Homo-oligomer: A and B are copies of this chain.
Amino acid sequence: MDMAYLLDILGNENRRNILTLLSYRPCYVTEISEELKVSPKAIIDHLKILEDAGLVESFYDQQRRKYYEIANNVRIEVSISPLMFRVNVSRVDIEADEQKMLHDKYAEEVALKKDLEYSLKHLYEEFQRLNRSSIELQEAQRSVQGMMSEITGMCIDIINEIAADQIEAELLYMLVRGPTSYDEIVSRLHIPDNVARSELAKLMKRGLLTYEKGLWSIA
């Protein structure tokens, strides 16, 4: 799943509204069109884009009416900070062991239809518990991002002190973010091959860089 493609898709308000509607229940075109006050033609175009991206799929009910629903479990995380712009897209698939755990915990009583109302309340509590975990994880993630940004800032200050020239500084800025391949270094810094090689060798001699498995990094 391509992050640029997904952000393009989510960058449209009507498509976001369609996803919100479908997250409540499957809908057909006329319903969506009336709800959002957007022409059926435009809704069909948006649904086509969402379907091509694999986010939405369709099925027919007994009356042969075509319904759309959200098809995929996707997570997108965007971090923006003075020294970082990172977009992370991942498919969410529930692990087999988690699925088994959930099954052991609830699915059996549900299957037996023993006491469905009781099971519903039980599941609802579990949902709320997971929701709280999710919020806690978000807070932890925010705190980690804040600390990463703070540390990168300190690194940049040090680099500005110790770098002999601008090229050396930019090289170190780049490597402080993580191991980088030679090709990426050359293409991002727009420097000739021989300059890159001599700069890297110089910094390696100073004991600041290492080269391992095709990647340059801070020693």
Contacts and interface: CB of A to CB of B under 8 A. Distances in A.
B146 A94 contact: yes
Give the copy number.
Answer: 2
A134 interface: yes
Interface stretch (A40-48, A58-66, A109-117, A192-200): A109-117
Contacts of A130: 144, 147-148, 151
Contacts of A88: 138
A19 to B, nearest CB: 4
Contact of A176 (B83, B94, B124): B124
Contacts of A113: 161
B73 A76 contact: no
Interface of A: 4, 7-13, 16, 19-20, 22-25, 55, 69-85, 87-88, 90, 92-95, 98-99, 102, 106-107, 110, 113, 116-117, 119-121, 123-124, 126-128, 130-131, 133-134, 137-138, 140-152, 154-155, 157-159, 161-162, 170, 172-174, 176-178, 188, 206-208, 218-219
